[in-house]
A = this chain, B = another copy of it.
Amino acid sequence: MILESAVSAPLAPPLQISRWFNTPAPLDLMQLRGKVVVVHAFQMLCPGCVQHGLPQTQRLWQLFRRDDLMVIGLHSVFEHHAVMGPPALQTFIQEYRWDFPIGIDQPAAHNPVPLTMQAYGLQGTPSLVLLDRRGRIRLQHLGRIDDIMLGLAVGQLLAE
């Protein structure tokens, strides 16, 4: 299967977020234990994110009960920082009507790569990270992922 074995899978590092959208309170992976968590790392000007990753994430959010599954967008800007700041992201979210929780990956002091992206070792956008109910990273995928494959992976984690 495409999932990492539960035995060897590492615990997910905390999300380091400078600002949240679409959520009344900040989200904390510790408090999400017991749920399967899908994290979609994107940049608002990344074509593959806009055309495939974000619509797929939005559909996941609409399809499934939120008790079992949490969907999080992570805006991990590692290039063109000047034009993808918080006001630009806010407009992007509003115009595209994304309504799942989205957090801005905390910029680093002396590194273009933001802190959560560094901690997870993400290589680019779009990236998908799946956490099981115990907070372990069971899938980390760079690039486009097939809808059936994504559903299958999430389904397996939900059944554990």
Contacts and interface: CB of A to CB of B under 8 A. Distances in A.
Give the number of copies in the complex.
4
A1 interface: yes
Given A60-B148, A148-B56, A47 B96 contact: yes
B82 A46 contact: no
A83 interface: yes
A64 interface: yes
Contacts of A156: 155-156, 158-159
A46 B87 CA distance: 15
Contacts of A108: none
A54 to B, nearest CB: 11
A65 B158 CA distance: 20
**Interface pairs A-B: 4 shortest CB-CB:** A151-B151, A155-B155, A159-B159, A147-B147
